[in-house]
A and B are shown apart, each in its own frame.
Chain A
Amino acid sequence: MTETTSAEPVGRELGGCPVMHRDFSGSQAAGCHWQLAEELREASPLYFNTFAQGYWVFTRYDAVRDMYKNPEIFSSESITPWQPDPIYRFVPTQIDPPDHIQYRRILNPWFSPRAIDDAEARMRGLCRRLVEEVAPTGGCDFVGEFALRFPTEAFLSVIGIDPADADLFVPWVEDFFSGFGGDPAGLERMTEALAGIREYWVAALAARRGEPEPRPGDLASHLLHSTYDDRPLTDAEMLDMLTVLVLAGLDTTRAELGYMFEHLATHPEHRQMLIDQPELIPSAVEEVLRFYTIVFGDGRKVTRDIEFHGASLKKGDMVYGLVSGANRDPRAYERAGEFVIDRKRNHHMGFANGPHRCLGAHLARREMALAVQEWLRVIPDFHVAGDVDLVERGGGSMMTLMRLPLAWEVTP
């Protein structure tokens, strides 16, 4: 992250709000992004960042929540403030109300608590197999050998794709997020990855087209039989939906699993609590989502001139809600800066707020709970291996630990 605090004029009236010039896309030592978010939040509720074309940054809970809850002012046409006109179009991520809910209605049942209940036994089986594979080895890179594989296989099984295709999807997702965060060097890989994912779904749709009935448990087949305003979905809509599901479903849970297990590896008392009181696992999962929010910030495009939490916004401006800072805002939480494993009334925005609430939230928290249950059952005692400096990917995309070497005693 580069910073130059500057008093240079930015060509418009900012009402005296602090100006910064920061690129959030660079990798950092693990935990640095939250530290930065907290520093920014406590120093000012509002900034103008002159990076890229320039955008507003809101740092506190109330403003971020209000940004999310007013989609008629804050459009999702772009969710990356340094890139107001992105090369991709995610459906329904970048669709505003009222059209948005029509797409969500098609997808919601696939990721509802009921659907996840139905998939739980299968997901537990996938998880158990991965844990039992690594357990006898006494150590692994948790990110590469577990956190990338389990959510990918679980997600693919939920939408009716052979989990073996995880080998194709994982590198595409890595390449996509190398460009998503705003690093120009990653744009080419991002474009190629999008093309690869698209080709995969073009072929999958072609293989299913013309079948009289939707294949049970097969989302691509289900989309071919779905309607929007009583017309079939277009190929473009189906491809945009399937593409964003892959990107959102494979990368995010990996990231949360990495931070959750880093926390458990370094907090044996919390590990023991979850072994002794497994009923605390759901609240521990929610606290991971609050305390280790992987979305550094979320972007929106302003639809009309308006005064908002101290900023004179103009139509077309980009704004950035610093979710990672908001979720640790002491104005919104007691003991905000502490990991409280049995926290109650945890109204965090780790899955965003408003109509774009994460579609996969129920799936993600179930995967996290299953991972804790199955891992602690077989490997109750583990630690971070060796003397390593953990690194996290930049905040322009979602933060994620690049590696997490864990080690444990193997009992013969």
Chain B
Amino acid sequence: MKLTVDGASCMGHGRCYQVAPDLLTFDDEGYVTIRDETIDVSADLLEAAEDAAGTCPEQAIALIAD
């Protein structure tokens, strides 16, 4: 599983790194650091990734099956 963040949609709500702190973190302005990037999600963080995607009020996070 991979996770990607649409940088134009991310508004810095901060919900994703709150519910998935082992996967995501924030920059100096409060945006998630991996905007417009794609990261691998290890098996133990699958649920956290799904929580992050489902929590984003902007629907900026997409999960991509391997």
Which A residues are within 8 Å of any B CB, using their own CB? 69, 105, 108-109, 111-114, 282, 286, 344-349, 351, 353-355, 357, 361-362
A-B contact pairs, 26 of them (CB 8 A): A69-B58, A109-B28, A111-B30, A112-B29, A112-B30, A113-B14, A113-B26, A114-B26, A114-B28, A114-B30, A282-B18, A286-B15, A344-B19, A344-B55, A347-B15, A347-B56, A347-B57, A347-B59, A348-B57, A349-B57, A353-B58, A354-B58, A355-B11, A357-B57, A361-B14, A362-B14
B28 and A345 form a contact (CB under 8 A): no
Q: Which residues of A contact B19 (CB under 8 A)?
A: 344
Which of B12, B14, B54 is close to A345, meaning CB atoms less than 8 Å apart? B54
Q: How many A-B residue contacts, CB cutoff 8 Å?
A: 57
Considering the complex, give the chain A residue whose CB is closest to the CB of B13.
A357
Interface string of B25-66 (1 = CB under 8 A from A): 011111000000000000000000011001111110000000
Q: Is the interface of A mostly helix, strand, loop or mixed?
A: helix
Which B residues are within 8 Å of any A CB, using their own CB? 11-15, 17-19, 26-30, 50-51, 54-59
Nearest-Cβ distance from residue A104 to partner chain B, whole angstroms: 8
Tell me the bound Cα distance from A356 to B56 in angstroms: 15
Q: A112-B26, A113-B26, A113-B30 are in contact. Are A345 and B55 (CB under 8 A)?
A: yes
Nearest-Cβ distance from residue A92 to partner chain B, whole angstroms: 13
Considering the complex, give the chain A residue whose CB is closest to the CB of B54.
A345
Q: Which residues of A contact B26 (CB under 8 A)?
A: 112-114
B11 and A357 form a contact (CB under 8 A): yes
Tell me the bound Cα distance from A244 to B1 in angstroms: 43
Considering the complex, give the chain A residue whose CB is closest to the CB of B50.
A345
Q: A354-B11, A355-B11, A362-B14 are in contact. Are A346 and B30 (CB under 8 A)?
A: no
Q: Which residues of B contact A111 (CB under 8 A)?
A: 30
Nearest-Cβ distance from residue A369 to partner chain B, whole angstroms: 11
Tell me the bound Cα distance from A345 to B57 in angstroms: 9
Tell me the bound Cα distance from A349 to B55 in angstroms: 11
The 7 closest A-B pairs by CB, nearest first: A345-B54, A108-B29, A112-B30, A357-B11, A347-B57, A345-B55, A113-B26
Q: Which residues of B contact A344 (CB under 8 A)?
A: 19, 51, 54-55
Tell me the bound Cα distance from A65 to B56 in angstroms: 12
Nearest-Cβ distance from residue A60 to partner chain B, whole angstroms: 15
Q: Which residues of B contact A349 (CB under 8 A)?
A: 57
Considering the complex, give the chain B residue whose CB is closest to the CB of A69.
B58
Considering the complex, give the chain B residue whose CB is closest to the CB of A355.
B11
Tell me the bound Cα distance from A114 to B30 in angstroms: 8
Tell me the bound Cα distance from A354 to B10 in angstroms: 8
Nearest-Cβ distance from residue A321 to partner chain B, whole angstroms: 14
Considering the complex, give the chain B residue whose CB is closest to the CB of A350.
B57
Considering the complex, give the chain A residue whose CB is closest to the CB of B56.
A347
Tell me the bound Cα distance from A69 to B17 in angstroms: 21
Q: A109-B28, A112-B28, A113-B26 are in contact. Are A361 and B13 (CB under 8 A)?
A: yes
B54 and A347 form a contact (CB under 8 A): yes
Q: Which residues of B contact A355 (CB under 8 A)?
A: 11
A351 and B13 form a contact (CB under 8 A): yes
